[in-house]
Structure formats: C-alpha cells, structure tokens
Amino acid sequence: MKRKFFGTDGVRGPYDGPVINCAFARRLGAAAARFLRARGTGAGATVLLGRDTRFSGPALEQAVAAGLADAGLAPVSLGVLPTPAVSRAVRVQGAALGVVITASHNPATDNGIKFFGPAGTKLTEEEELGIERELEAGGAPPDGAAGALAPATQADAAGDYIAAVSRLLRPACLEGWRIVLDTANGATCATSPAVLRALGAAVIGLGDAPDGQNINAGVGSEHPERLAAAVRESGARLGVAHDGDGDRCVLCDETGGILDGDEILTVLAVHALRSATLAKDLLVITEQSNLGVDAAVEAAGGRVLRTPVGDRQVSERLLAEGGRLGGESSGHIICAEVSPTGDGLVAALKVIEVMLATGCPLSELRRVLRRFPQRSATLPVKEKPPLESLPALQAAMRGVQAELGAGGRILVRYSGTEPKIRLLVEGADAPQVQACLDRLAAAVREDLPGE
C-alpha cells in the first residue's frame, strides 16, 4: 500500500490547503493516537509537541493536540523548538510520541506535521501507513472547533537541549572565534546562538528576527549568499546556516566558500578514519550525494553505503549496520552517538571539533573532497505519475545513461514534500553532464507540463 499523505519527511503542504489545515490536523492527531493505543500505549500517555516560527504553527499545534486528546492521550507543548530538540525531549522524558509542526526549508505559506517515536527516531513508513489506515477509518472529529484544546506549556526542553549540546565541546573553547550564524528566522533563533556563546564565541546573527512570515525568506541553508558575504565582511572564522526547523546545516569557510552536506560529511568521516574513531569505518549517504564522497572515504580506508533520499533512510541504515555517521547533501547530518535524527547545530560543532583538533581552517579541511562534475535541476509538476509511465523521460534516461557509461550516473525522482521532480546527472566531463541534464529536463517538460 502506498502512503497517501506522508512523504519523505512527514505530511506537508500549503497551509489551509486540502491537507494542511486544522480540521485535517485534528483528524491526524486522533489517528496517530488510535494507532498508538492499538499497539499498547496506555490512556493518558504523554505526547510532546514542538513547532517552528510559522504564523500557522500555533493553530495547527492546538488542532493536533485536540486530536490526540480526543483519542485519550495527553499532549504537552514544548513551544518553538528545533526538530532535534523535540527528538531529544521525547527520549529524555520517556514520551510515547513526538510531533513537530514544521515545513522545514519551505516558505512560510507551507506547513507540515512529522512524528517521532519513543526512541526519538522518525516513524517508519509502515508506521505512517498504520496512521493513514486509522485516518481513513476514523471519520470526523467530535463537535467543537478544531484546536479548541490548548496544550500545557513545558519550558525546560530548550534549556535541556542547550545544556546537552554545549557539553559536546570543552568549555570556553571558542573564545576568540567570530562566527556568523544564520538561523533562518526559524526554530533555532534561541538555541543555536545560546550554545555558541556559551562556548565563548562572538556570534554575528542573521535571520534571527522571526515574525511568523519570514521563515526561510532569503535566509538560512537554502539561501547562503548573505552568510558568505557576512563572513567575508566580518573576518569570521566560519559561518553556520540552518533551515527553518534546525535539522540541516550548511557551512561557510573563512573565505566565504559554501560547504554543503557532502563536504561536511567527508570532512567528518575522513578525520574520524584518520583518528580511528569512525564506527565500523562506515559512512552512510544517499543516492543524491556526489561520487567524490565515495572516492575520498574509500581512499582514507573507509566504506560508503548509499540509501534512497531521506534522512530517515540514512538513520535506519545506520542503526542496522552499527554505524554512527551519515547524512544527505542537503545538510541533514546524523551523528548517531548524539542524536538519531539530523541536527544542524551538532553537525556544526562536530566540524568545529575537527578544526580545533587539527588547527586547520575550514578552507583547508574541505579540500579532502574532490567533486565529480554534477548538475541538477528541479522542475514543477502538476501531478506525479509513475516515472516508468513517461515515455519521453524513459527514452532520455536510457540514452543519457548509455552515453555516460560506467563513469557516470543519473538520478530522477519526485520530491517527497513538494510538487516537483528532481534531476541529477554526474559524470567525468562537465559540458557533457550539462548537456545530458538539459536532455532530461526537456523530456520532463514534454511528458509533464508544469504550471
């Protein structure tokens, strides 16, 4: 059975649209609670809810809480809190479930709902299917305005997260460091600067004035241009950018050069291999990552495993293999000895730890990755029919792969959270790679006219 509502990272869409609205959120909360109750969770079990800074967050949070209470569970609000901090709170407080109201890197007009199990991990696809079955069977919520139940506020989760993450590095180790921090006008506006300042850094803030409408608006990990400019202008040691809910990290070296998730993962993996601390000598990445990551890690004596796109896929593979490091080129970095889910702040601190240990600037550390030429494109689509049903695209994919041969690859997939199709081509020759990408894009436009 294919999931109808859940994508690669929860349920997501325009606020007050056909899915992300308060009535649906209440039904979804009740369905999740019934699913848990059917699996043995007792009445009155605690569910922790966090959210980012979108204007729609409070209403959706209350709606989900009302649904959870409809089915006998006890919702507790953590307020505005990064996704990894909610994951930690679920683990530390022994909650039955965690819920985050966020659309991550999407604009403020979107929102979403994602769930974490008692171990602080995202629910599996099978568990999400179970919730969808309950959703279909559940019918309408009780009478009364959706979201009428305002959950109680629990204020200590942010402080606990700040204290725990601050302990990853030695006290005052960042004295004399100037760091530019872009918090995307999102959920990390209070937590990330508090940690960096607690470690002694002078923090220059960007995207740190959320107003409900400006989350990810020209700032954050999707828009690192201002970060790079600020690093150059201020003479900072590095720059750090998060997305709206704080589970991603993009870095900027002291010259203004941007590092994505592939470079961050390669820096961390190669350093750990050289110091014999990489668990199972293993790095887990997704099919989206550059082939240069494999080459660098294997040259250092490690091994690489790839999964489908999605940090949940990475987390599940790490757990199965006994690994501790993995992530995505988008900046979802999982350091499993700290957290089972992506944490942008933890990723930044881990790179800083390498800088402190080696005495090397980030511009030097990043040289460990030599990228294969890679080009990508994202195109809007109205519908998402099976890729194998698209004749022009299938013909183009066969032709491109034959042209690239064994030294190249292509990746074509629909976004799991937006009405888009994503294309990637990688090979030895940059002009050839671009030409192949153009052929794929033309085929998509032939088969799938956009808006």
Q: What percent of the chain has pLDDT above 90?
A: 88
The pLDDT of 306-323, averaged and rounded, is 94
The CATH class for the domain spanning 166-258 reads: alpha beta
Domain 11-156 and domain 260-368 have a common topology: yes
pLDDT confidence tier of residue 147, bands split at 50, 70 and 90: very low
The active-site residue, picked from 87, 104, 192, 221, is: 104
pLDDT confidence tier of residue 155, bands split at 50, 70 and 90: low
Residue 289 is a catalytic residue: no
- Provide the pLDDT for residue 139: 62
- Could you tell me the pTM of the whole model? 0.88
- Residue 315 structure tokens: 């987390």
Lowest-pLDDT range, 46-55, 86-95, 132-141, 256-265?
132-141
- Provide the pLDDT for residue 145: 43
Dihedral angle, C-alpha 372, 390, 125, 15, nearest 10 ° = 100
Phi, psi torsion values for 51, nearest 5 degrees = -155, 165
Rg (the chain; Cα; Å): 22
* Fold for the domain defined by 374-447: TATA-Binding Protein (3.30.310)
pLDDT confidence tier of residue 315, bands split at 50, 70 and 90: very high
The CATH code that applies to domain 11-156 is 3.40.120.10
* 181-214 residue pLDDT tens: 999 999 999 999 999 999 999 999 999 999 999 9
The CATH code that applies to domain 260-368 is 3.40.120.10
Q: What average pLDDT is seen over the chain?
A: 94
Can you tell me which residue has the tokens 């919520």? 141
Q: Parse the chain into domains and list their residue ranges.
A: 11-156, 166-258, 260-368, 374-447
Residue 372 has pLDDT above 70, yes or no: yes
**Angle at alpha carbon of residue 79, lines to 155 and 32, rounded to 5°:** 115
Helices (H), 174-215: 191-198
The pLDDT of 259-275, averaged and rounded, is 98
**Angle at alpha carbon of residue 416, lines to 426 and 292, rounded to 5°:** 25
